Amino acid sequence: MSTKIAVLCSGGGTNLQALIDAVEAGTIDGEIVRVIANASKAFALERARRHGIPALFISKKQAGCDAAFNDQILEELQKAGAQLVVLAGYLPLVGAQIVRAYEHRIINIHPALIPAFCGPGMYGHHVHEAVLRYGAKVSGATTHFVDEQVDHGGIILQKSVPVLEGDTPDTLAARVLTVEHEILPESVRLFCAGKLGVDGRRVHVL
């Protein structure tokens, strides 16, 4: 029986598209049952609708507070019967109530090699700017399970890319995004195939 997947997004949704493509190609034994965005103009919502996936915007401002906002998201996840939650370029912190309800069932993609260049404030171009400022020679992307700390849960997959002379945050971001589109669908494929085992901080590919 295929896994029911919900995807949370904040922006353009290229990682969402990579997941949709993998599901439609039969690579992932799962079904994307809901896409939720915290930004009304997130193109991810349009991507979902083009593929017939129920998509909705949930406003933190209208919810009134973080707790109510996360309660609304959790309610939607449960209504959709989601068994796995994927954060695909999702910027808000995931509420503790969601983390507890979906322990070891929330996968995030981060545009750096955790534990480097991660944690509060390290998202999007801030990450690539920090990598270049530091003078790192490699960067990359990491998928990990989500816990109640930022970018902290057990690492599933990592893939590196070189940092090249003359790189800008844009050129580095584009190179990292290419590997994000590889390791996020692969991590979801492994989860849906029952091939990820968690032992404390260690995630084993079975």
| Catalytic machinery residues | 110
Task: State how far the Cα of 104 lies from the Cα of 205, in Å rounded to an integer.
Answer: 14
Q: Give residues with Cβ within 8 angstroms of 203, minimum separation 6.
A: 144, 145, 154, 155, 156, 196, 197
Sign of CA dihedral 138, 16, 196, 127: positive
115 alpha-carbon distance from chain centroid? 16
Task: State how far the Cα of 107 lies from the Cα of 84, in Å rounded to an integer.
Answer: 8
Task: State how far the Cα of 28 lies from the Cα of 20, in Å rounded to an integer.
Answer: 9
Bridge partners of residue 143, in order along the sequence: 109, 157
Bridge partners of residue 57, in order along the sequence: 37
Would you say 136 and 163 are in contact if contact means Cβ atoms under 8 Å apart? yes
